[in-house]
Chain A
Amino acid sequence: MNRWSAEPGHACPAAVAAGLLAAGENWTEAVQTAEQAVAAPECRGSAPCMSRALGTLVCAGELVVADEYSLALLEESADDLVMAEHMQLARACVALRTGDLARCSSLLDVLRCNGTVAEIRPVVLLWTVEVLVAQGELAGAEALLLADGAEAALLAHTAAAHDPSRPLLHAAKAVVAMAMNRPHDALTAHLACGQELVDAGVLNPAVLPWRSRAARAALACGDTETALHLAMEEHAAAARWGEPRALGTSLAAVAEASPHGEDLLAYERAIRLLEMAHARLELAEVLCDYGDRLTAHGKQAAEVYAQARATALDAGDTVLVRRAEEAMSGAGAEPALTAVEAEVARLVHAGLNNREIAARLAMGTRTVELHLTRVYRKLGLSGRRELQARRARFRTTPPGTLRTHRGAPGGPST
């Protein structure tokens, strides 16, 4: 998947397909050209050609076809070691994208230990790191990064432009940094990866969704503006390509960076797209994010977390399983109201109107309205009628976190 452009004067269908993939503008043409390459005798015998064709099909989300072709090619060219390695790599990629971490990991292990083809090493490194991080083996991922000399390679090659391994090494570094809770380093590395890809003419987020990953890192750094900008850019590019995984991933990044209120619909659309794409790893993560956001909106998220947990368990992503479980144990309860909010809610429930409540609690009617709005949002209610129809008890934050004394009836007013 590293060689994007055709050598001049030698535009075989596989090279054309890889070019179409890199540009990311014409999904139909890219898929059909890649399939032509698999059928063309002059391409079928060549390992680099088949690697390009299969890479295009995988990034186009045509995983069933990629599975079929890679297996057939593996069997028909048993003595061609180079072809075998490329096809195993393609199969590992299908496993990674469908979210079968265990199988992906064993395929990658074989390639890492016995692999002879130098150009696939950085790809193997990146995916191995991704799998290890998902399995919660952070130390292993970091050790691998050091052992493979990724850092040294990046420093040594600064002069050599367009080395196809550089964006992959940056990406691997970024994934580890993000998992080690170093979002600033992750952001820098993701942006470096993206710059290399763009310089090489790879504009398609289906190859490597660096913008949405960078957006997550930027969010973790607290830079919402950059995050939203990156996510929107990737979403536009993913919409041009028209493949559900890339689109869903970018849409989830947009939702993550969006202000409250504009995000739930985007999450739901992202989940729908990732389900269509059979993308279990991405789906589990987006479900967790969606659950968190629902909780923040004061809505029930237990079901979403349960689905996230099941999906993550299925894929073998232990980190997400743990995250969903922790969220589930915390999410059963309702979001807590502050003492004032609870008091206002109680009085509304008792049938008082806002003016009466304002008089009772010695505050302005505007303030009452403000508290009520928060109550509705936290409890996920549409308004006064729904609140009055509810059971009477409201859970409050523990007294230690009480921020005001003014709300207590008859309390001191400052």
Chain B
Amino acid sequence: MTNSGPLDEVRRTRFELVRSGRWNEADRLAGAVLAWTGSGLDLAYLPGGQVPESGRPAVFRAVQAANRGTGRAEAADIARRVLASAESLDAGTFWQAVMVLTYADEAALARRHWIAAPGHLGDVHDLLGGRIMVLCGDPRAAVRLLDGARGRGVRPGLRVVAVAWLVLALVEAGEPDRARAVLETERLTEHPDCAELCFARGRLLLAQGQSAAALDEFLDCGRLLSAWGVVNPAVLPWRSSAALAACDVGDLVLARICADKDLVAARRWGGPRGIGLGLHAAALARGGDDVLLEEALTFLGQASTAAEALRARHDLAQLLLARGEIDRARKHTRRLREAASGPQWTQAVDALASRLLRNDGESALSGQERRIALMARAGRSNREIAAELRLTLRTVEFHLTAVYRKMGVAGRPGLRRAFVPTA
């Protein structure tokens, strides 16, 4: 990374333009500087953006397009052509091109190029492998690669990305404790890649049921990305994730705002993964919409992002079960068992199956039970619920016991993880 005066000036001007809502002019400025001077590859957001000592203006344009969230086909095309070119690639160009492919949901293609890549790429190769493996639904392989890379040492510019992606992979692999340990050993402060770290921390907190803290992390992530002018959820689907966290804390309006915005942006970009995540979030933000969830499943199935499809199917099965649509719930539980990978998913499927055994269509909650369950799930105390619904404390306790029994959960913590439809 160069520190020459004029380039710093450009960098500042670019941020100033983005801050004043002149996103397009900011992009043009960056493009012009790059075309003119051949340097300034860090003028667009890319995690590990300090890798490219060299690089190509064409790939830079693809990165810009990915940030803006328009022109997916062209961006993927540029990346594909660069990777297929006969000349040997430097680490920076390889990093940029493979990242663009993963943004464009071309994980299978990215994987082929990754396997074929020459060995001298070292840490860049390992890290990209980790990212590709998570997207292809093999988080354990990702953990091996990322852990190995960290053991061998990664260049300073990639340290933060390595931590963030390892945490994400560990969360997907069902090892939140290890993820937490990794986060604690690393002391990271101001760094351009902090958005990745916020996102990973948010996913960890969400997986552990600390939704309010997770929401804050996702919103921080969004703040950092918007300072860069990143709009595309394919870069980091922070709004969809924030929507899930907001649902958990009972703020359905915020959830809907986040989910819909991501969904519209994902459709603009056209990547199935982002659309599926947006649909999933939009379904939950509407208090549980099984049609949207089914649609989400078809998109997530296309993108072969296994864990995300599993999550959507799990929510769908819980929703159907809570509604008393036992046959459909059973079908999805079966599909879930076939696809389940990792201990956390086997456990989740077992819990669903045992609830299904106990419930024969009687499981649908009554209106009052649903209201109380939702409030309890949002973290309200029994006393607060009683006051708000003008019931006695005993009545609230009575209803909650029925909710726990009907939903087959052990208590409040179980309720938080289980799905309660509002409609």
Could you list which residues of chain A lie within 8 angstroms of chain B, going by C-beta atoms? 27-28, 31-32, 35, 61-65, 67-68, 71, 94-95, 97-100, 103, 239, 242-244, 247, 269, 272-273, 275-276, 278, 314
Does B183 have its Cβ within 8 Å of any Cβ on chain A? Answer: no
Select B257's contact among A35, A97, A103, A243, beta carbons within 8 Å.
A243
Cβ–Cβ contact A100 & B23, under 8 A: no
CB pair B253–A242 under 8 Å, yes or no, is yes
Cα–Cα, bound, A278→B222 (Å): 11
Partner of B23 from the list A31, A32, A68, A272 (CB cut-off 8 Å) is A68
CB distance from B321 to the nearest CB of A (A): 28
Contact status B20-A67, CB under 8 Å? no
A sample of 10 more A-B contacts (CB under 8 A), given A32-B267, A71-B24, is: A27-B260, A35-B268, A64-B229, A71-B25, A95-B21, A97-B21, A242-B253, A243-B257, A273-B257, A314-B19
Q: Which residue of chain B lies nearest to A315 when distances are taken between CB atoms in the complex?
A: B20
Contacts of B226 in A (CB 8 A): 278
Interface string of B230-265 (1 = CB under 8 A from A): 010000000000000000000001101100110110
Answer yes or no: B219 CB below 8 A from chain A CBs.
Answer: yes
Q: Is the interface of B mostly helix, strand, loop or mixed?
A: helix
Complex Cα distance A27/B259, Å?
A: 12
Separation of A102 and B263 alpha carbons in the complex (Å):
33
- In whole angstroms, what is the CA distance A62 to B261 when docked? 9
Closest approach, in angstroms, between the C-beta of A24 and any C-beta of chain B? 14
**CB-CB nearest in chain B for A95:** B21
- B residues whose Cβ falls under 8 Å from a Cβ of A: 19-25, 68, 70, 219, 222-223, 226, 229, 231, 253-254, 256-257, 260-261, 263-264, 267-268
B136 CB, min distance to chain A CBs, angstroms: 30
Determine the chain A residues whose CB is within 8 A of the CB of B23 once the complex forms. Answer: 64, 67-68
CA distance A269 to B229 in the complex (A): 23
Using A31-B264, A239-B253 as known contacts, say yes or no to A63 and B223 having CB atoms under 8 A apart.
no
With A242-B253, A244-B257, A278-B226: A272-B24 Cβ-Cβ less than 8 Å: no
Contact B264–A276 (Cβ < 8 Å): no
- How far is A269 from B255 in the complex, measured between Cα atoms in Å? 13
In the complex formed, the residue of A with least CB distance to B278 is A28
The answer to whether B21 and A100 touch across the interface, beta carbons within 8 angstroms, is: yes
Residues of B contacting A273 in the complex (Cβ-Cβ under 8 angstroms)? 254, 257
A63 touches B257 (CB 8 A): no
- Kindly state the separation between the CA atoms of A100 and B263 in the bound complex, as whole angstroms: 28
Are A67 and B222 in contact, CB atoms less than 8 angstroms apart? no
Minimal beta-carbon separation of A89 from chain B (angstroms): 15
Which of B24, B263, B264 counts the most A-chain CB atoms under 10 A from its CB? B264
A235 to chain B, nearest CB (A): 9
Residues of B within 8 A of A62 (CB): 264
Are the C-beta atoms of A63 and B253 separated by less than 8 Å? no
A276 touches B263 (CB 8 A): no
In angstroms, Cα B23 to Cα A272, docked, is 22
CB distance from B57 to the nearest CB of A (A): 20
Q: A-B pairs with the 4 shortest C-beta distances? A: A98-B21, A100-B20, A239-B253, A64-B23
Chain B residues in 8 Å Cβ range of A61: 261
* Distance, CA A63 to CA B229, complexed state (A): 11
Please determine whether B20 and A276 come into contact, CB atoms closer than 8 angstroms: no
Residue of B nearest to A98 (CB): B21
Cβ contact within 8 Å between A247 and B257 = yes
A-B contact pairs, 27 of them (CB 8 A): A27-B260, A28-B260, A32-B267, A35-B268, A61-B261, A62-B264, A63-B21, A65-B268, A68-B24, A68-B70, A94-B21, A95-B21, A97-B21, A100-B20, A100-B21, A100-B22, A103-B22, A242-B260, A243-B257, A244-B257, A247-B253, A247-B257, A273-B254, A275-B223, A276-B222, A276-B257, A278-B21
Q: Which residues of A contact B20 (CB under 8 A)?
A: 95, 98-100, 103
Nearest B residue to A277 via CB reads B257
Q: Chain A: which residue is nearest B19 at the CB level?
A: A314
Is there an interface contact between B257 and A67, defined as CB atoms closer than 8 Å? no
Which of chain B's residues have a CB closer than 8 A to the CB of A244? 257
Report the minimum CB–CB distance from B112 to chain A (whole Å). Answer: 33
CA distance A165 to B296 in the complex (A): 44
Q: Give A244 to B226 CA distance when docked, in angstroms.
A: 15
Taking CB as reference atom, which chain A residue is nearest B20? A100
Across-interface contacts of B19 in A (CB, < 8 A): 314
B267 touches A272 (CB 8 A): no
Nearest B-chain residue to A26, judged by Cβ: B260
| B256, closest chain A residue (CB) | A242
Say yes or no: B68 contacts A64, CB within 8 Å: yes
Complex Cα distance, B22 from A71, in Å, reads: 10
Determine the distance from Cα of A278 to Cα of B257 in the docked complex, in whole angstroms. 14
Question: Chain A residues with Cβ under 8 A from B268's Cβ?
Answer: 35, 65
CA of A38 to CA of B410 in the docked complex: distance in angstroms? 53
CB neighbours (8 Å) of A314 from chain B are 19
B254 neighbours in A (Cβ, 8 Å): 269, 273
Q: Taking A31-B264, A32-B264, A35-B268 as contacts, is the C-beta distance between A64 and B257 under 8 angstroms?
A: no
The residue of chain A having its C-beta at the shortest distance from the C-beta of B255 within the complex is: A242
A63 to B22: give the CA distance in the assembly, Å: 9
Q: Which residues of B contact A27 (CB under 8 A)?
A: 260
Please indicate the chain B residues that have their CB under 8 angstroms from the CB of A269 in the complex. Answer: 254
Among B21, B22, B24, which residue has the most Cβ atoms of chain A within 10 A? Answer: B21
Known: A272-B219, A276-B222. A28 touches B21 (CB 8 A): no
Question: B70 contacts which chain A residues (CB < 8 A)?
Answer: 68
A63 CA / B265 CA spacing, docked (Å): 12
Q: How far is the CA of A103 from the CA of B20 in the complex (A)?
A: 9
Complex: A272 Cα to B218 Cα, angstroms: 12
Residue of A whose beta carbon sits closest to that of B215: A272
Q: Shortest Cβ distance from B387 into chain A, in angstroms? A: 14
A169 to nearest B CB, angstroms?
27
Q: Chain A residues with Cβ under 8 A from B219's Cβ?
A: 272, 275-276
The chain B residue with its CB closest to the CB of A96 is B21
- Could you tell me the distance in whole angstroms from the C-beta of B407 to the nearest C-beta in chain A? 28
Residue of B nearest to A62 (CB): B264
Q: How far is the CB of B14 from chain A (nearest CB, A)?
A: 14
Q: A61–B264 Cα gap in the complex (Å)?
A: 12
Q: Give chain B nearest CB distance to A262 CB in angstroms.
A: 14
Minimum distance in angstroms from A26 CB to a CB of chain B: 10
Q: For the complex, what is the distance from the CA of A242 to the CA of B286, rounded to whole Å?
A: 12
How distant is the Cα of A98 from the Cα of B223 in the complex, in angstroms? 14
A96→B254 CA distance, assembly (Å): 24
